[in-house]
Chains A and B, each alone.
Chain A
Amino acid sequence: MNPETDTINEALRLDGNAVAGDLQMLMGFDVTLLQAQCGHCQNEGVFASLVAYVRGPGIVLRCPTCEGLVLQIVKTPTSIIVNLEGMARSVMYLPMS
């Protein structure tokens, strides 16, 4: 634990809104309103409220409750790899008609 890097990491922390553009290009729809359930602590919340770190080689999304890894995206020159291991499930509620 290094207090200085911890503070920098805290200040650099973003959320699901910040990665919505990349994911929309990838999936073809807006993910921010998905209800995502964390595979570690089972807490559920909107995708936009996941905490995001985007300054590494890829994108890391963590659960705001338990900090468990929910989703990881790695970009290589030829591909984009999405690791969804930490997501128990995600639900898109359809607008009521």
Chain B
Amino acid sequence: MERIQWQLARVKSIVQETPRVKTFTLTLPNWIPHLPGQHYDLRLTAEDGYQAQRSYSIASPPEQTGEIDLTVELIDDGEVSAYLHEGVAPGDQLEVRGPIGGYFVWQDAMKHVPLLLVAGGSGVVPLMAMLRHRAKIGATNPTRLLFSVRSAEEAIYRDELEEMARHDAQFDLLLTFTRDVPVDWAGYHRRIDRLMLTEVLHRFETQPHCFICGPTLLVEQVANTLAELGLSADTIRTERFGPTGT
């Protein structure tokens, strides 16, 4: 593990993913290869010295060298996310440190084990890095993403995920909409619950590794339910984002 230090990244580009979500591509003077699932800490400093620090997962795979993508959801009255959405433009500098974390990561050594990814809202970000890297290395382990979002327009990376599912017979995308559903929607239309998780688990022939990420209460509920359904604790990895959307 290399030593991490605060460094000044430059905003290379900004992409609007959904009405409330933007991806910031940052160029780093001291880029360190990351593991999919890791995050960076970002720190804002006001003129009077006041600082606010938050964590943001890396969305890009380590194959994208020299830079990182951070995908940030705008939280109403959120201190840092509102500043990033409203006050940052390409060319600006942002203070970050990373990559951080060795627990919530998908390692190449796991590429032969089935994989269950469960996300709520922006919790999909670190899982996206895993999926992008998995595609890059050509892994063929059965993989499913159960992704809970409020409505179709709020599903981050939806086009890329559907494209991935079309091209990779071993990857399934299972969306569930908790509020508004598209007219012709035949899939899930409720919060993730025990029945849904049972159905998803039934699609696996052998027990998968699980990564669960998103709003704290969703993460805890899904992890508890998966444990009740018989998955052993050491195959379930969780990361709580706090009070984010969904």
Chain A contacts to B: CB under 8 angstroms: 8, 10-18, 20-22, 24-25, 28-30, 32-33, 46-49
User: Is A32's CB under 8 angstroms from B103's CB?
Assistant: yes
Q: Which residues of B contact A14 (CB under 8 A)?
A: 216, 240-242
Query: Residues 93-113 of chain B: 1 if any A CB is under 8 Å from the residue's CB, otherwise 0?
Result: 000011011111000000000
Expressed in whole angstroms, the minimum distance between the Cβ of B226 and any Cβ of chain A is: 14
Report the nearest A residue to B41, measured CB to CB. Answer: A21
- Is A10's CB under 8 angstroms from B217's CB? yes
Count A-B pairs with CB separation below 8 Å: 68
Whether the pair B215, A48 counts as a contact (CB closer than 8 A) is no
Name the residue on B nearest A30 (C-beta).
B102
Task: Considering the complex, give the chain B residue whose CB is closest to the CB of A13.
Answer: B216
How many B residues are at the interface, by size bracket?
20 to 34
Q: Give the A-binding residues of B (Cβ under 8 A).
A: 1, 3-4, 39, 41, 55, 97-98, 100-104, 215-217, 237-243
Nearest A residue to B239 via CB reads A17
Q: Which residues of B contact A16 (CB under 8 A)?
A: 103
Question: Are A21 and B104 in contact, with the CB atoms below 8 A?
Answer: no
Q: How far is the CA of A25 from the CA of B7 in the complex (A)?
A: 13
Instruction: Determine whether the beta carbon of A46 is less than 8 Å from that of B103.
Output: yes
Q: Let me know if A17 and B4 touch, CB within 8 A.
A: no
Is the Cβ of B3 less than 8 Å from the Cβ of A32? no
Judging by beta carbons under 8 Å apart, are B101 and A30 in contact?
Answer: yes
Contact B101 A28 (CB under 8 A): no
Give Cα A12 to B239, complex, Å: 13
Contact at B100–A12, with CB atoms within 8 Å? no
